[in-house]
Structure 1
Amino acid sequence: MAYAYTNQRRVIVPGPHFVDLQTVIPAPVGFPTGSFAVVNPRLRPAVPQIEVLVPIAPPAVAPFRFTVNPALLIRMDEERTQSLLRIVLSWIKKVAWQRRFPRHLIMSTSATILTYGSYGLGVHGSESDIDALCVGPSFATMHEDFFIVLRNMLQNRPEVSEIHCVKDAKVPLMRFKFNGISIDLPYAQLKVNSVPENVDILNPFFLMNIDDTSWRSLSGVRANIRILQLVPNTENFQAMLRCLKLWAKRRGVYGNLHGFLGGIHMAVLAAYVCQLHPNASINVLISKFFETFALWRWPTPVMLQDEMAPMGVDVSEVRSLMPIMLPCSSREYCHSNITKSTFNRIRSELLRGHAMTRDFLRPDFEWGTLFEHFQYTKIYVRFVRIFLSASDQDELGDWVGWVKSRFRCLILKLEEVQGLCDPNPTEYVDPDVADPNVVFYWGLQPGRSRFTDIDYVEEDFIKSINHGFQGPRGIIEMSIVEASELSKNVKIDSGNAEEPKACWRMPEYNRQMKPIYSQYLPYYFVGYVAKAEDTSAGG
């Protein structure tokens, strides 16, 4: 069969509990690369076990030269993380002193910083954000010590600016700029008295009895470490992943909040192909990537060959059309927001990539065509326009980040009333509006009935975003526009608009603040929180 390689073995694992594997639905009208069959995502019981293809003893593939832009091969900037580590070491000793620990314990206690994401994998660019995890011992709490004490210490540093606390996210974190580079810093609390700088986060000893929030915070770091351990050639993997992320962004299928592939999804898929073809050059790997996943039997899970990991998988929470397993000692699936619409878009781009790269040995083959921007206005004649604005740029960042975190609800609603939609992740700005604003243009499926009742969809979505948001509410307006009505300032097919990383914070604004004193050292001031609720640490 086209999807079965001779260098794969079959492994039986429990399957996702919601897909009817026996039926297919036709390809949506208007999506590129022609028609194809996709899995019907109806919520129905599935068979209790499914087969997973795992690479074994891959054959050697003759290398073929593929030129990578040297500007992309940027060394990891250790200076920032080392500076941040020194701050964290001072912080944990301060916390130990507040606990009135003996002097020798204060001197010996330690915490550490672990990087992950594109930075941890070594595929970041010069302006990329840094994902870093603060790992502390059992006596350092998230609520007081991390979000108040450490926050105050960071705020007093000249190289740190724009500190935001994100406490109501699935993975709570601080976001700030360190010498101009944005850093996301969640916190994990281990059940030990001291965390060594080079802590082996894959060691089960350090994971014993930790809380759920710390477990989620550690997942990204553990997945990154295991991926780098499992790929046969790190440099080829990194170069391949850079190219694939560029492809996904140019083709409009990158961004977890919009229901597309996120960084961890791309990393696991790239690592799988690297395991399958350990001796292949970069261009062969890219071609094999598209061949493998264009013909993949979704929703068969993708999993890396990992002898350390048990084969039992807990799939009670799986709700994905493209299940991708995290390569950790305790098997989990990558969090996914993929819907019927975005699954079709991703698969159509995989098929396009496969059709283009299977003949890459031709003398006239041009790699550049693979990375061309997706031409939205040539595919769609109607768009949903989502306009967001606020009174200032800070409030806009909070508002946009919150709304984006609820986009999956909107995508599902549009699928219900209109059919498939294409949630273009790019953010645009309307220059004719004085207030700071962000605009999204989502393609509507051609050939369907003339959907016009956007007010009903907007009302339903507003109910979703109003639940849980704190702080001044911005403006949201939705409308349907024709492609011919798009402003000349909206270069929707060029992809030149910048897409800032989503974030919202619990703003302080004009709320009264109250001082917080240490629970362990009477009359010792540690910071401020809002009087109404202790959810936003101030300084």
Structure 2
Amino acid sequence: MNETASEPSAGGGGAESAYNYGTTEPISYANPTDEDHLLNRELEECLHRNSLYESKQQQQHREQVLAELHILVRDWVRKVSMNQGMTEAMAAETGARIFTFGSYRLGVNGPGADIDTLCIAPRHIDRSRDVFGSPDALTGEKSDAEFVLVDILGQRAEVEDLVAVSEAYVPIVKFKFSGVEIDLLCACLQMSSIPEKLDILDDSILRNVDDATQRSINGVRVTDAILRLVPSIPNFRTTLRAIKHWAKSRGIYSNVLGYLGGVAWAILTARICQLYPNALPSFLVSRFFLVYDQWKWPNPVMLKPISQGNPNLGFKVWNRRNHADARHLMPVITPAYPSMNSTHNVTSSTLRVMREEIKRGRELVTEILNQADATAEVKTPGLEAWQRLFDSSDFFGRYNYYFSIDVSAGDSENQKKWKGLVEARLRYLIHKLETMPNTQVHPYPREFTGNPNFKAGCGNSFYIGLKFKAKASNDKNTKKPVVDVSGPVREWHGHVLDWGMRTPDMGVNFELLRRKHLPDYVLAAEKILRKRKDTEDGSKKATSGEKGAEPPSSSGKDEVTVNGTTSEVPTPEESLKKPRIDPNQTAEPTEFNPADSRKDSDLVEGVGSGRPSGSPVQKPSDGLPEGSPSNGGNAPASSPGSDAVGLGQALEDDELGLEGRRSGGIPSSRPKSINVKLSIRR
């Protein structure tokens, strides 16, 4: 049923000569101290208190579901084989296998998480015809429902919410089986039968398969390769569970929006395990933040040297000397052939956000270790210190302006398809916005469903934080720069509307909001209490007596300057009455072309050296970014954003001054105000 890769024995005992994981030697073979054991118990208790583990009953239920699914696909392959003229005995020998991958296979899934599964079938099974029921490419005939996997699933009483996407980049069938969410892929190998014991990491199984099959099987191969490349699977799992929880809590877990997905976080975690093979999860978590806070991107993170594989297989392998691969900002390379970059969606904006969060994580874990050093042997910083690491993101407190994208359709089925399409293309909008001058972009991976404008299940909203910055100037007569976001938005809007399967009821609306006008359903979902009115309107700057804050508009509406005039930004109440961008409005689609080009250079892995303790890792200078502590310079200051300041007719951005004070240098003058131009057709 559920195939398990051969798992290496857990690291321990400091057996240096036996250790051969990774692309470099480990930083330290040191064994855990008593202090490490105490910190580790507190970390694990914190993870349990956050409900990150399933009960035994839930685990057993998942195993039962997988067993039933395995029986179902084997019976399906047998029926299709007999329908093609095989005898019953021959058909029974063809076989089919169910493999799992993703968080379930890695052993870090939480309660209610879906199970990524792969069905491997022999060569006489056709994915389009026999899995999805598509017409035969040559004859145009369709198989009877009793021989089509999607139809068989649809007839089962235990199956609900069945959605089949045959034309996806990776064809997939999504459904619930006895309450457990399943994402099912299918790979048909060039074998007459599927053996009971199949080495999924054997490159020869990729012989003569198409790209869709290779992509389908890649998830299982990568997951199993990761498990074979870590010195201690239990320690890896606990560490990864903590890192995933941190990434989700801080709003940086989303491959589709340009952050990192599960595979990339797993590879980053596994690399830390390789560098400290005998360390406990508590120490591995601390070193995760220390190492990656100093990592010199775009140095790639790899668990093993990249294999070129058999040239006859013909699959492209990631190579930083290729022009396209050299543009990747944060390469994290998968360990199974064909090696790929699992983070190709990362943009300059999302990289900046992740680096800020990693820096925050480093500061917190350093504080935990320092507190542990300062306390008695039997006392540690406590669960509260670990919990601060996992605090929810303060996204809606960071920025003065937020860009909302409301996605809606006439019914829930169309909404699922439409929302997925818009979400997948949001990174193009992010790219367009981040290339504008004086603009800082922060996409938030959470989607909101409480918009009262939409029927239940027919609307989703996404939010992007915006910060408009200007260079400092002593000339008071200098004209204020204008930031116009309407052009990029219109271009992206046309790109989204240019979807062949779009129906007239599918729409996308936009709105530029100040923080104090965030809708109540967003604040409720984020568990944010709206501030008192005088605090909202006066802003932090005005109440503290600082200069630069302008009074709120006397009309009660927010205004932004547009080429010397004012254009009212409707309040949330008025926005319900006014039509926003017409979803049927046509616009010239714009092809997305990444602008960031990286030169190929000799890139070396940048990691430190040290031992499992509270002391910082000393990293070689050529592996560190300039200005990092280990290079004798000042560490780059993070800019997590401040509370609302200057919410007047023009945006007063003092963030440059704040950054200057953090880094020890005070600017000679205040930044200029920036006028936000919002000229989207309504």
Normalised to the residue count of structure 1, the TM-score between the two structures is 0.78
Task: Provide the rounded CA distance (Å) in 1 between the counterparts of 2:508 and 2:196.
Answer: 45
Task: Give the 3-state SS of the residue equivalent to 1:194 in structure 2.
Answer: coil
State the Cα distance separating 1:161 from its structure 2 match.
Answer: 1.2
Q: Check conservation: 1:373, 1:493, Cα contact below 8 A.
A: no
State the Cα distance separating 1:495 from its structure 2 match.
Answer: 7.2
Task: Provide the rounded CA distance (Å) in 1 between the counterparts of 2:259 and 2:278.
Answer: 30
Q: Which has the higher mean CA deviation after the structures are superposed, 308-317 or 467-476?
A: 308-317
Task: State whether structure 2 residue 242 is matched by structure 1 residue 243.
Answer: yes
State the Cα distance separating 1:468 from its structure 2 match.
Answer: 3.6
The alpha-carbon distance between structure 1 residues 495 and 181, as it changes in their structure 2 partners (threshold 3 A), is farther
What is residue 97 of structure 2 aligned with on the other side? 112
Task: Give the 3-state SS of the residue equivalent to 2:523 in structure 1.
Answer: coil
Task: State whether structure 2 residue 465 is matched by structure 1 residue 433.
Answer: no
Task: Give the 3-state SS of the residue equivalent to 2:37 in structure 1.
Answer: coil
State the Cα distance separating 1:486 from its structure 2 match.
Answer: 0.9
What is residue 676 of structure 2 aligned with on the other side? none
Task: State whether structure 2 residue 167 is matched by structure 1 residue 135.
Answer: no
State the Cα distance separating 1:347 from its structure 2 match.
Answer: 0.8
Task: Provide the rounded CA distance (Å) in 2 between the counterparts of 1:407 and 1:197.
Answer: 43
Task: Provide the rounded CA distance (Å) in 2 between the counterparts of 1:101 and 1:310.
Answer: 35
Task: Give the 3-state SS of the residue equivalent to 2:117 in structure 1.
Answer: strand
Task: Provide the rounded CA distance (Å) in 2 between the counterparts of 1:313 and 1:392.
Answer: 41
State the Cα distance separating 1:446 from its structure 2 match.
Answer: 4.0
Can you give the 5+ residue segments of structure 2 that lack an aligned partner in the other structure?
A: 1-15, 17-21, 134-147, 311-316, 373-380, 471-479, 529-682
What is residue 428 of structure 2 aligned with on the other side? 409
What is residue 441 of structure 2 aligned with on the other side? 421
Task: Give the 3-state SS of the residue equivalent to 1:491 in structure 2.
Answer: helix
Q: Deviations over 1:399-458 (max 9, x none)?
A: 111111111111111112353310001111344214231111210024358766444333
The alpha-carbon distance between structure 1 residues 95 and 451, as it changes in their structure 2 partners (threshold 3 A), is farther
State the Cα distance separating 1:240 from its structure 2 match.
Answer: 1.0
* Residue identity opposite 2:402 in structure 1: F
State the Cα distance separating 1:187 from its structure 2 match.
Answer: 1.4
What is residue 313 of structure 2 aligned with on the other side? none
Task: State whether structure 2 residue 466 is matched by structure 1 residue 462.
Answer: no
**1:360-439 alignment runs, 5 A limit:** 360-361=368-369, 362-363=371-372, 364=381, 366-417=385-436, 419-435=439-455, 436-439=458-461
Which has the higher relative contact order, 1 or 2, with Cα contacts under 8 A spaced 6 or more apart? 1
Can you give the 5+ residue segments of structure 1 that lack an aligned partner in the other structure?
A: 1-6, 8-51, 497-539
Q: Which has the higher mean CA deviation after the structures are superposed, 193-202 or 104-113?
A: 193-202
By percentage of residues, which structure has more strand? 1
Task: Give the 3-state SS of the residue equivalent to 1:267 in structure 2.
Answer: helix
Q: Check conservation: 2:298, 2:331, Cα contact below 8 A.
A: yes
2:52 to 72, 87, 102: 72
2:66 to 81, 93, 97: 81
Q: Deviations over 1:74-132 (max 9, x none)?
A: 36421111111111001111111121123331121111111111111111112001111
Q: Which has the higher mean CA deviation after the structures are superposed, 230-239 or 363-372?
A: 363-372
Report the aligned-residue RMSD.
Answer: 2.5
State the Cα distance separating 1:392 from its structure 2 match.
Answer: 2.0
Q: Check conservation: 2:226, 2:335, Cα contact below 8 A.
A: yes
Task: Give the 3-state SS of the residue equivalent to 1:54 in structure 2.
Answer: coil
State the Cα distance separating 1:309 from its structure 2 match.
Answer: 8.2
Task: Provide the rounded CA distance (Å) in 1 between the counterparts of 2:129 and 2:430.
Answer: 37
State the Cα distance separating 1:324 from its structure 2 match.
Answer: 0.7
* Residue identity opposite 1:403 in structure 2: V
Q: Which has the higher mean CA deviation after the structures are superposed, 423-432 or 384-393?
A: 423-432
* Residue identity opposite 2:441 in structure 1: C
State the Cα distance separating 1:306 from its structure 2 match.
Answer: 6.3
Task: State whether structure 2 residue 467 is matched by structure 1 residue 487.
Answer: no
Task: Give the 3-state SS of the residue equivalent to 1:72 in structure 2.
Answer: coil
Task: Provide the rounded CA distance (Å) in 2 between the counterparts of 1:414 and 1:275.
Answer: 38
Task: State whether structure 2 residue 236 is matched by structure 1 residue 256.
Answer: no
Task: Give the 3-state SS of the residue equivalent to 1:186 in structure 2.
Answer: strand
* Residue identity opposite 1:73 in structure 2: Y
Task: Provide the rounded CA distance (Å) in 2 between the counterparts of 1:160 and 1:450.
Answer: 57
1:328 to 329, 336, 340: 336
The alpha-carbon distance between structure 1 residues 483 and 446, as it changes in their structure 2 partners (threshold 3 A), is same
State the Cα distance separating 1:166 from its structure 2 match.
Answer: 1.3
Task: Provide the rounded CA distance (Å) in 1 between the counterparts of 2:397 and 2:91.
Answer: 64
Task: Give the 3-state SS of the residue equivalent to 2:521 in structure 1.
Answer: coil
* Residue identity opposite 2:68 in structure 1: S
Q: Check conservation: 2:236, 2:273, Cα contact below 8 A.
A: yes
Q: Check conservation: 1:287, 1:358, Cα contact below 8 A.
A: yes
Task: Give the 3-state SS of the residue equivalent to 1:408 in structure 2.
Answer: helix
Greater radius of gyration (CA) = 2
Task: Provide the rounded CA distance (Å) in 1 between the counterparts of 2:243 and 2:109.
Answer: 13
1:350 to 338, 354, 358: 358
What is residue 265 of structure 2 aligned with on the other side? 266
Q: Which has the higher mean CA deviation after the structures are superposed, 177-186 or 445-454?
A: 445-454
The alpha-carbon distance between structure 1 residues 91 and 386, as it changes in their structure 2 partners (threshold 3 A), is same
* Residue identity opposite 1:114 in structure 2: F
What is residue 515 of structure 1 aligned with on the other side? none
Task: Provide the rounded CA distance (Å) in 1 between the counterparts of 2:171 and 2:527.
Answer: 31
What is residue 478 of structure 1 aligned with on the other side? 510
Task: Provide the rounded CA distance (Å) in 1 between the counterparts of 2:482 and 2:170.
Answer: 37
* Residue identity opposite 1:166 in structure 2: V
Task: Provide the rounded CA distance (Å) in 2 between the counterparts of 1:341 and 1:61.
Answer: 39
Task: Give the 3-state SS of the residue equivalent to 2:462 in structure 1.
Answer: strand
Q: State the identity as a percent.
A: 32
The alpha-carbon distance between structure 1 residues 336 and 451, as it changes in their structure 2 partners (threshold 3 A), is farther
Normalised to the residue count of structure 2, the TM-score between the two structures is 0.62
What is residue 158 of structure 2 aligned with on the other side? 159
Q: Check conservation: 1:139, 1:193, Cα contact below 8 A.
A: yes
Task: Provide the rounded CA distance (Å) in 2 between the counterparts of 1:252 and 1:342.
Answer: 10
Task: Give the 3-state SS of the residue equivalent to 1:299 in structure 2.
Answer: coil
State the Cα distance separating 1:341 from its structure 2 match.
Answer: 0.3
Structure 1 consecutive aligned stretches of length 4 or more whose deviation exceeds 6 Å: 306-312, 449-452
The alpha-carbon distance between structure 1 residues 469 and 240, as it changes in their structure 2 partners (threshold 3 A), is farther
Q: Which has the higher mean CA deviation after the structures are superposed, 72-81 or 398-407?
A: 72-81
Task: State whether structure 2 residue 145 is matched by structure 1 residue 145.
Answer: no
Q: Check conservation: 2:349, 2:441, Cα contact below 8 A.
A: yes
Q: Check conservation: 1:309, 1:328, Cα contact below 8 A.
A: no
